[in-house]
Amino acid sequence: MEDLHRTLATYAYSVLGSMDDARDVVQDVMEKYIGMDRSPIEDVRNYLIKATVNRAINLKKRKTYESTYGKWLPEPVEVHTPDSPLIREQTASYSLLVLMERLNPLERGVFILKEGFGYRHQEIAEVLDIRPDHSRQLFLRAGKSLQKTAYTPKGTAPKDLEAYVRALTGSDLKKLESLLQEDVELMADGGKLVKVVSGFSQGSRATAELLHKVHGLFLGGDDWFITQMNHLPALVFHRDGLVHNCQIMDFDGQGIVRVYSLVDPQKLKSIKIP
């Protein structure tokens, strides 16, 4: 049952971008399932997946995801933990989760089921109570909105991230700028509690200066470690048992093209300090 809960949470999280909300959705689905007449249900797993995805889509339609400070970003998930293989293998890359905020909830549901979980359009139609041709249209529309080449992960060598850490913690502004692509973007999410210096930055010089300033003002005395969040490398700063900042980086093989900086305590609370 625990594995099934994790599986359902992975589906809901992919739609919502929030693990807390995903767990709430799964709890609601399971409570309703336990209290109902289950005799007509032939395939319990498929029934629960259908109920979970639909409830997550409906929640995404109703709930406004935004931050008071900075730009709202999805909650990151560590994928190297020994949870079920589904969570490790089918949790979307972080850059894709951010881009999927462009989609409406139904487009997002179709795209996730087709691209992330390998569903056929006939199966998607059954899950979402739509026609197969409508599923195809929504999937094509989603693909055009996302511009697939923009979110294909390229990976990075450990030396690339180590060079970034040395430049940032060593206040080497020139080296830091050289590691960033010319059109690099930085997005910062402080949630409703933490003010950010800037919610958005673009360009290697401006972004390097912002990263350098934030580190000098707030993170200089913190410990740090390197990990993976949603299949992308991440640098996590912590002090006195609390995580203060998680920087998730998207590399394109030539340098860093995006930095997602999270300082919202609600989105950092599940990150485990080694």
Position 156 pLDDT exceeds 60: no
Q: Is the pLDDT of residue 81 over 90?
A: no
Q: Which of 158-167, 193-202, 257-266 has the lowest mean pLDDT?
A: 158-167
Domain check: are 205 and 261 in the same one? yes
More confident residue, 152 or 123: 123
Percent of the chain beyond pLDDT 70?
91
Provide mean pLDDT across the span 90-118.
88
> Quick one: pLDDT band at residue 51, thresholds 50, 70, 90?
very high
Q: Which of 150, 176, 200 is the last residue of a domain?
A: 150
Strand 223-229 relative to strand 256-262: parallel, antiparallel, unpaired?
unpaired
In this prediction the pTM is 0.89
Examine the domain organization and report whether 46 and 66 are in the same domain: yes
Q: Are 223 and 245 within one domain?
A: yes
What pLDDT is attached to residue 147?
A: 74
In this predicted structure, what is the pLDDT of residue 149?
45
Domain count, the chain: 2
> Taking each helix axis from N to C terminus, what angle separates 19-34 and 2-16, rounded to the nearest 10 degrees?
130
Q: What is the pLDDT of residue 154?
A: 53
Say if residue 258's pLDDT is above 50: yes
Q: Which residue has the higher pLDDT, 237 or 151?
A: 237
The answer to the question of residue 274 being in a domain is no
User: What's residue 87's pLDDT?
Assistant: 54
Rounded (10°) CA dihedral 55, 24, 26, 116: 70
The whole-number pLDDT of residue 158 equals 61
Length of the chain: 274
Q: Which of 125, 87, 86, 119 is nearest to 106 (CA)?
A: 125
Domain that holds residue 200: 158-268
